[in-house]
Structure 1
């Protein structure tokens, strides 16, 4: 298995297949998607080689991200490639849900096993204000359809913002009474182009964690291939709560994930100084050289991000790598 110099093992790959997004969320792309780079995104052949190579190096979980991955018409084929790769146990997708209702059948038929949908508010007007789209009812309809079709591993991601959804968290708690999803509250992270917004809107997850524990929520045991969330359950709720707190102490100690950008660059951290291109090696049918390069590059992974020092690396916005 891929292991860094700090003994962390990497069984989880976040694979971006496009950096294009059709939403204009205020914390990520407030002015909408700007086409300011080459859009020569990974082909399905290159994607297959990436997934096969990572699987042979011990990766068990693939998360397909964007931008918005459903904007690629070949998304079902990409899901199928991951699902059919020996060694891959979980094929997950992170989406804004815009195309969920229309395409969830196809995604599940292709082998999708886990679904994350971004919903920053359950208030339709506030959702529209944050995302620039009045699509909340349609997205919730898509989640209901996913449940009906047997997709039971569904998470909802909500980025915490002081002046927006932080005061409306009760909507999610009410929803979780009867809805068996995991709502994951994510601390707003500073990126290259949102410093002012971050300073105005950042909310620490630690106070929320303290309140959960006081209210009888209990911490779940973390699975080997799980993401960075601390997840909590309560006997009175059908759903669960997750907290992703990148500014918390020792957040990076349990890091188990690497990232590949839609242009074929390896990012050792969401906030690494740069991505390292693997594109040339992806043209080779024999993946021996690619394996050697991944093992070599992993030696450069740092012990932690440097967000506390306001060093955000090359990450201009979260859509670049799907968070």
Structure 2
């Protein structure tokens, strides 16, 4: 049996590893009041990240996404990429970033072993971008995307959180952008977390509405690879770019779950929603604990639920998306 497999025969090839919960943006759907520092926190060290990644890789994980908060705020972010990429068995190293430092640093990330990059761009209108993110950084982020292509990335994924009354009228503008550019534009449904009930009820848009429009316009769905994320991806013969839809409220969304999460303070989270997390850090302090760490991972997976229960209105214990890496 595959070593990272749950009671529902789901196999987990994909680790989302948060390295900080600090973020310098104030996105309405995540940290609208900005990051509130907690002086007691100590984020995973480079050695702890090395030990953790080796344990996951030895159990079949072959893809790691480095997340935050904003992961590039770590001064050793390039060294983290290099450490993860050097792990035997890890074939793909990705990151999700707000793009703040991309223009200056993305070439270094590429040389360190980064193989895929996702950038958050919630609007192609600079004023709306500012309104949603709380930061007037649109031009810098777009320059970062250009720098990623210049550094050798063949495709850049762009994450856009759909919000009714804000950016939900920009589909045509986004489609024009990807017509001649190798961008996979991923529309993400707004998700309800513990601190966002009112925002969710005001701005939630069903991704299924966009899916209907795409299919009507001749877009076709691609087959997922075993270590792909949760997006349903669509292609069109007239477009260089692609569209991805992440719809956590869709029926059977969790049936294809293939990813586990570790927070920036070393807790395993079996789902983005719902639980306190399983402590791993006591087994990361020094070498020699890999067998015990793997045993704890297997034991934790025995408790993974069939679904996140979002469709039943249960938002779980996650206060906001930055807290365990989105």
Greater shift after overlay, 136-145 or 60-69? 136-145
Count of matched residue pairs: 323
Q: 1:58 aligns with which of 57, 60, 75?
A: 60
* Partner SS state of residue 62, structure 1: strand
| Aligned residue number for residue 149 of structure 1 | 151
Cα distance in 2 between the residues matched to 1:240 and 1:53 = 34
Q: CA–CA distance in 1 between the matches of 2:109 and 2:253?
A: 32
2:161 is paired with a residue whose SS is strand
Correspondence for 1:240: 242
- Closer/same/farther in 2, CA of residues 38 and 169 from structure 1, 3 Å limit: farther
The reply to whether residue 303 of structure 1 matches residue 288 of structure 2 is: no
TM-score when normalising by structure 2: 0.98
Superposition pairs for residues 1-323 of structure 1, below 5 Å? 1=2, 2-36=4-38, 38-286=40-288, 287-323=290-326
Measured in 2, the distance between the counterparts of 1:153 and 1:201 equals 29
Structure 2: distance between partners of 1:63 and 1:37: 26
Rounded to whole Å, the distance in 2 between the matches of 1:279 and 1:16 is 14
SS in 2 for 1:98: coil
Q: Which runs of 4 or more aligned residues in structure 1 lie more than 6 Å from their structure 2 counterparts after TM superposition?
A: none
**CA apart distance, 1:37:** 6.5
SS at match of 1:280: helix
Q: Does the CA-based 8 Å contact 1:22-1:33 persist in structure 2?
A: yes
Q: Quick one: distance in 2 between partners of 1:11 and 1:187? A: 24
TM-score, normalization by structure 1? 0.98
Distance 1:16 1:272 in 2: 17
Shift of 1:153: 3.1
In 2, the alpha carbon distance for the partners of 1:255 and 1:183 equals: 21
The 10-residue stretch of structure 1 (274-283 or 47-56) with the greater mean CA deviation from structure 2: 274-283
CA distance in 1, matches of 2:40, 2:272: 20
Q: Specify the SS of the correspondent of 2:284.
A: helix
Change (3 A) 1:3 1:269: same
For 1:283, what is the secondary structure of its paired residue? Answer: coil
Deviations 1:175-205 (A, max 9, x none): 0111111000000000010000000100001
Q: Distance in 1 between matches of 2:39 and 2:323?
A: 11
Please tell me the root mean square deviation across aligned C-alpha atoms, in Å.
0.9
Q: Distance in 2 between matches of 1:60 and 1:188?
A: 28
Structure 1: runs of 5+ lacking an equivalent: none
Q: Distance in 1 between matches of 2:311 and 2:233?
A: 23
- Quote the offset at 1:24 in angstroms: 0.1
Q: Unaligned 5+ residue runs, structure 2?
A: none
Provide the C-alpha distance between the structure 1 equivalents of 2:13 and 2:40, rounded to a whole number of angstroms: 30
Question: What SS does the corresponding residue of 2:273 show, helix, strand or coil?
Answer: coil
Say if 1:252 and 1:95 are closer, same or farther in 2 by CA, change over 3 A.
Answer: same
